[in-house]
Structures are given as C-alpha cells and as structure tokens.
C-alpha cells in the first residue's frame, strides 16, 4: 500500500504528514502511544469543538499505519478492548437482581433518566453492561454519554450514546448525503450504541418510553458536554436477536439494512448478519442541517 492510497476516515495521509508522524513517534517513543497521539493531535490541531484532543481517534490512525507497516510503535501498555471488561471484579448478581419488577408502566413509581456524570455512576453503568448486555464491556471510542434509568429509585435500564457509523448506504440515502457532505457533517449524528433493560424488569412499553425520554434531553446535554449540536439519532438492530419493536414504538424510522460491515470507531457493528438501521430525527429540518444548507 502506498501513501497515496492510505486513507483514514476519508482523509488521505500524505508523505509529508507521515514524516511528521515518524518524528513525533521518535521523540515520544519512551513515553508510549498515548503521549505520541496527544503530541500529534497538538501538532495537527486535531481537536473537538470544545477543545479536547481527539487522541483516541489519533491512536486508531497510528495503529492502522503500524498494521500497514508504514510506521513502528512502542508496545501498548494495555491489553486493548478487553481491558475495561476486567478492570474491576464483577458485582454479585443480587446487586442487580432484586425481586422481579412486573407491572403496567402507568402503575409504577416515577420513571427517571439521568446522565451518569460521576465516576461512580459511570462504573455502575459499565457494571450492568458488562454483566447483562450481549456486547459485554467492549470499549466505546470517541465522544459518548451514558444514562441510567430508574423506577421509584430502582435501577431498571442503561442507555449509551456514541459516535455514528462512518458510512452506511441506506442511512446516507435517507439523509441525501454524498461522500464529501457526509464527511463534513457526520458529527451531527449520534449512535445508540447500548440499550439494556435489566433482566428482572418486565414492564410493558418501558423500552420505548425510555428511548423517548432520553431523546428529549440528549441534544442539549450533548451540546453541553461535547460542544456541538446533533440532529439525528441512529442505531443498528441485530434482527437475529431483536425485532426492533421498541424503536418503532418510539417513532424511530427503519431506513433499511446494512449490506456490508459497518464500523463505529474501531468496532465493527455489523461484522456478520445484516442489521436493521433505525433513525430518529431530533429536529424537523434535520436533512437541511446535515446537508449544511442552514
């Protein structure tokens, strides 16, 4: 593979940029990959709108360059995506499995959806995801928000939102994107990367209710935390496991299905069977905003 053909998230890496990377790697070799990626972000001004460095994405670039044998990197200090899964002992099942919660939604106590914004709340979110979600504790790369849902003070669900898939034909057609427009406005979409109702909870309509409640607050909180607006939500439903009923009930639109592997960050969200693609507009003129027309 030549440098002329090496592309990362729609960006071609030039020979001059590769030389820049080689110099930074050499200078920061002893400090490790994180120091290298942060130095490269600072050199290239690769930052989010709120000023934070895009060092996770930069490390993805470095790893792919290393795999293509364009550069050499120091050995990683961590074991990769499984690291977070085993960082702490898993909680005992009884912490999350009290007596079964079964009733009509209207007969339950108050339903609350809160953002996990303390280390303890985020760890609680990861605890239930690691134990009960079929994707386990797989790392979520890039900008993200975690939410916990409660009924009458009892934890019942966890929702997670992260960066969108890079390119999905059916979604892009739904919006009206060509490739240059998608690259420019992709961050206007957020992906529902995790949604878990705890296994002891059997409350009809709860899932669609939580999706609707979370969507009401997500745009403003995403702006507050990450510093840029979002206009559309997306998710990928494994049809071999789920029917997508709660998304349809919450007025999400089924726009098609994946027809090739789809990536969110470093994770392939559709490595095998095709996934149903659901989208939820947060504003009426979402297409115009995602096309850069307003």
Contact 90, 131 (CB under 8 A): yes
Same domain, 60 and 100: no
- pLDDT for the residue 86: 42
Q: Based on the structure, what is the number of domains in the chain?
A: 2
- pLDDT for the residue 12: 77
Taking only the tens of pLDDT, the chain with its 294 residues reads 455 557 776 667 888 888 889 999 999 999 898 899 889 988 888 876 656 777 777 888 888 888 888 899 998 765 444 444 444 443 344 444 455 677 777 767 788 999 998 888 999 999 999 999 988 877 888 899 999 999 877 899 999 999 999 889 999 999 999 999 999 999 999 999 999 999 888 888 999 999 999 999 999 999 999 999 999 999 999 988 889 999 999 999 999 998 765 555 445 455 567 899 999 999 999 999 999 988
Same domain, 187 and 96: yes
- pLDDT for the residue 154: 85
- pLDDT for the residue 188: 96
User: What's the rounded Cα separation, in Å, for the pair 245 and 243?
Assistant: 5
Same domain, 48 and 122: no
- pLDDT for the residue 152: 79
Q: Which residues pair with 286 in a beta bridge?
A: none
Residue linked to tokens 């979520």? 140
Query: What is the distance between the terminal CA atoms of the chain, rounded to a whole angstrom?
Result: 40
- pLDDT for the residue 84: 44
Same domain, 22 and 131: no
User: What's the rounded Cα separation, in Å, for the pair 260 and 208?
Assistant: 28
**Structural domain contains residue 81:** no
Same domain, 153 and 23: no
**Structural domain contains residue 20:** yes
pLDDT digits (tens, 9 = 90+) for 172-224: 999 999 999 999 999 999 999 999 999 888 888 999 999 999 999 999 999 99
**Structural domain contains residue 251:** yes
- pLDDT for the residue 269: 53
Same domain, 39 and 132: no
Two tokens at 263? 């990536």
Same domain, 101 and 227: yes
Same domain, 53 and 127: no
- CA dist list (Å): 201 to 157, 195, 214: 9, 14, 18
pLDDT digits (tens, 9 = 90+) for 194-206: 999 998 888 889 9
- pLDDT for the residue 98: 52
Closest CA to 176 of 285, 17, 290: 290
- Domain extent, residue 156, equals 90-290
Two tokens at 178? 């060509």
Residues 6+ apart with CB under 8 A from 98: 154, 200
Same domain, 61 and 167: no
């Amino acid at each position: 593979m030549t440098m002329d053909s090496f592309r990362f998230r729609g960006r071609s890496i030039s020979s001059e940029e590769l030389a820049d990377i080689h110099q930074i790697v050499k200078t920061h070799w002893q400090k490790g990959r994180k120091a290298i990626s942060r130095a490269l972000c600072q050199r290239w001004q690769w930052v989010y709108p709120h000023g934070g460095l895009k060092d996770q994405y930069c490390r993805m670039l470095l790893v792919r360059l290393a795999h293509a044998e364009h550069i050499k990197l120091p050995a990683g200090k961590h074991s990769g995506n499984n690291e977070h899964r085993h960082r702490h002992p898993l909680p005992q099942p009884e912490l999350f499995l009290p007596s079964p919660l079964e009733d009509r939604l209207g007969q339950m106590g108050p339903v609350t959806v809160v953002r996990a914004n303390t280390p303890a709340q985020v760890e609680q979110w990861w605890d239930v995801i690691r134990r009960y979600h079929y994707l386990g504790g797989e790392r979520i790369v890039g900008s993200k928000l975690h939410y916990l849902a409660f009924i009458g003070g009892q934890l019942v669900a966890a929702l997670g939102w992260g960066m969108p898939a890079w390119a999905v034909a059916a979604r892009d057609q739904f919006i009206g994107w060509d490739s240059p427009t998608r690259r420019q406005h992709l961050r206007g979409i957020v992906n529902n990367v995790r949604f878990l109702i705890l296994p002891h909870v059997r409350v009809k309509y709860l899932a669609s209710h939580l999706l609707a409640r979370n969507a009401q607050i997500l745009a403003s909180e995403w702006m507050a935390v990450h510093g840029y607006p979002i206009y559309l939500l997306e998710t990928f439903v494994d049809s071999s496991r789920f029917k997508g009923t709660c998304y349809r009930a919450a007025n999400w639109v089924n726009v098609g299905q994946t027809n090739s592997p789809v990536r969110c960050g470093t994770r392939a969200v559709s490595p095998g069977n095709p996934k149903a693609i659901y989208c939820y507009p947060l504003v009426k003129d979402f297409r115009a905003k995602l096309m850069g027309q307003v």
